[in-house]
């Protein structure tokens, strides 16, 4: 039987979000209904609400979530009712060319739940990133659920479903940071801060945090950065070079998503260094690169898609490292709030006051 729960909906472009009654169908084949326990507030939710992603309003927002599987549809083998899970954006198929080449994060046939959640009047909802977890319950594809150790707090677990995974993955999966590396992270919001933590986990020797907001730099040092550079006061490229004996960093991670900062990242890399773009650019952004420098300095320019993660491999691993005290993810939870507080939390995020607000259900 379909059930009604409360959820946060962005009804119209740019308008404040509303707590509405939403209708969740019983899970069909390959689907699961998850009782959401915690869901982080991410920039992408704000972008949906502002109409920056697409126009398929109304959106059911929220996508950095963890919870307990309530029921599953026919043929579901991945998870069972009662499992504690972290949700991911899209289930991978396991069979396409990308999956078979061992790069499932580029899967060509990812999917979400087929059925739609609706408003009470039957209007279909578009779930943010195929999740829609600012709600007491949500409907997803079973492959979007990854079972993890129940000892982790739901608020921390949920963060691994998006921004924190993107940041850690940019360092360890895409950037391949390894013991002894020098790493520079440009932009130390939620994503960049997670890259710093990933670099530390991987044994980086120097971790240079760059931001234009001193509060973010203070936090970065707390999380394990060894040096902080305020881009408002200093030229970031010069500072990174100076801190690396004039060489530049082995891995430079751009976590802002702007051409200027990607350009800085490009020039701040060491000979044969790696540049990772994890900040999401807008369609109009362009970058001009001096080809001779690409050639002469070598190395690689990469982008990191969702931290190039494989949820079934990475979520349980990061949860275990956290439980062992090697990944202090609690630092990302700036405040816990309720569904009613989300609109105000967007403002605080926009002002840069918080790393993450987490809705607890
Ligand atoms: N130089 C250095 N840092 C900058 C600059 C700049 N020119 N401009 C902005 N920043 C910093 C901001 O001060 C902020 O701390 O970049 C950080 C961006 O962080 P958030 O706004 O918190 O965003 P976050 O959630 O970390 O995401 C960063 O990754 O996933 C993408 O869409 C996301 O593009 C965004 C990026
Ligand atoms: Zn997100
Ligand atoms: Zn695939």
Which tens digits make up the pLDDT trace of 40-93?
Answer: 999 999 999 999 889 999 999 999 999 999 999 999 999 999 999 999 999 999
pLDDT in tens, 138-179: 999 999 999 999 999 999 999 999 999 999 999 999 999 999
pLDDT at 247: 97
**Which CATH number is 3-161+328-360 given?**
3.90.180.10
Q: Is the CB of 19 under 6 A from ligand 1?
A: no
* CB of 255 shorter than 6 A to ligand 1: yes
Query: Is 186 near ligand 1, meaning CB less than 6 Å away?
Result: yes
β-pair partners for 162: none
Residue 52: per-residue pLDDT: 86
Range(s) of the chain covered by CATH 3.40.50.720:
167-305
C-beta pairs of 228-233 under 8 Å, 24+ apart in sequence? 231/186
Residues of the chain where predicted confidence (pLDDT) is lower than 50: none
Of the chain, the percentage scoring pLDDT greater than 90 comes to 95
Question: Nearest 10 degrees: CA dihedral of 296, 261, 307, 289?
Answer: -30
Q: What is the pLDDT of residue 107?
A: 94
Q: Report phi then psi at 126, rounded to 5.
A: -100, 115
Residue 102, C-beta contacts closer than 8 angstroms, at least 6 positions apart: none
According to DSSP H, which parts of 268-355 are helical?
A: 291-297, 311-323, 342-350
Exposure letters 86-120 (e unless 16+ CB within 10 A, then b): bbbbbbbbeebebbeeeebbebeebebbebbbbbe
d(CA 74, CA 77): 9
Distance 196 CA to ligand 1 centre (A): 13
Nearest to 37 by CA among 76, 71, 78, 85: 85
Please give the pLDDT value at position 74.
98
- CATH code reported for the domain at 167-305: 3.40.50.720
Residues within 5 Å of ion ligand 3, judged at the Cβ atom: 92-93, 96, 99, 107, 109
**CATH 3.90.180.10 residue ranges for the chain:** 3-161+328-360
Residue 212, ligand 1, Cβ within 6 A: yes
Q: How far away, in angstroms, is 160 Cα from ligand 3 center?
A: 22
Question: How much distance in Å is there from the Cα of 255 to the middle of ligand 1?
Answer: 6
3-state SS assignment for residue 250? strand
Coil, strand or helix at 217: helix
Which ligand places an atom closest to the C-alpha of 162? 2
For ligand 1, atom 29, the nearest C-alpha belongs to 279
- Would you say the CB of residue 40 lies under 6 angstroms from ligand 1? no
Element (H, E) at 197: helix 190-201
The pTM for the full model equals 0.96
């Amino acid at each position: 039987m379909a059930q009604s729960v409360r959820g946060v909906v962005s009804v119209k472009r740019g308008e404040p979000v509303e707590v509405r009654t939403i209708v969740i169908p019983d899970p069909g084949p390959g689907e699961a209904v998850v009782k959401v326990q915690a869901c982080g507030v991410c920039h992408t939710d704000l972008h949906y609400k502002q109409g920056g992603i697409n126009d398929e309003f109304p959106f059911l927002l929220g996508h950095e979530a963890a919870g307990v599987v309530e029921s599953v549809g026919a043929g579901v083998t991945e998870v069972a009712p009662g499992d504690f899970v972290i949700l991911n954006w899209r289930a991978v198929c396991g069979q396409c060319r990308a999956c078979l080449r061992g790069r499932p994060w580029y899967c060509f046939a990812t999917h979400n739940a087929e059925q739609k959640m609706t408003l009470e009047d039957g209007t279909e909802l578009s779930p943010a990133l195929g999740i829609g977890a600012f709600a007491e319950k949500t409907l997803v594809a079973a492959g979007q659920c990854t079972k993890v150790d129940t000892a982790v707090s739901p608020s921390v677990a949920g963060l691994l479903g998006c921004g924190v995974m993107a940041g850690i993955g940019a360092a360890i999966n895409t950037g391949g940071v390894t013991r002894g590396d020098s790493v520079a992270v440009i932009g130390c919001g939620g994503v960049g801060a997670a890259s710093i933590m990933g670099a530390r986990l991987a044994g980086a020797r120097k971790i240079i945090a760059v931001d234009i907001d001193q509060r973010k730099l203070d936090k970065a040092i707390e999380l394990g950065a060894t040096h902080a550079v305020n881009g408002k006061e200093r030229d970031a490229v010069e500072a990174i070079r100076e801190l690396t004996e004039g060489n530049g960093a082995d891995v430079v991670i751009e976590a802002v998503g702007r051409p200027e900062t990607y350009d800085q990242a490009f020039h701040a890399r060491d000979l044969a260094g790696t540049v990772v773009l994890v900040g999401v650019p807008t369609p109009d952004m362009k970058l001009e690169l001096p080809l001779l420098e690409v050639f002469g300095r070598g190395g690689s320019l990469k982008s990191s898609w969702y931290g190039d993660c494989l949820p079934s491999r990475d979520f349980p691993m990061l949860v275990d490292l956290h439980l062992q005290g090697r990944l202090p993810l609690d630092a990302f939870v700036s405040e816990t709030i309720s569904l009613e507080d989300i609109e105000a939390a967007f403002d605080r995020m926009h002002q840069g006051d918080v790393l993450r607000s987490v809705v607890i259900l």
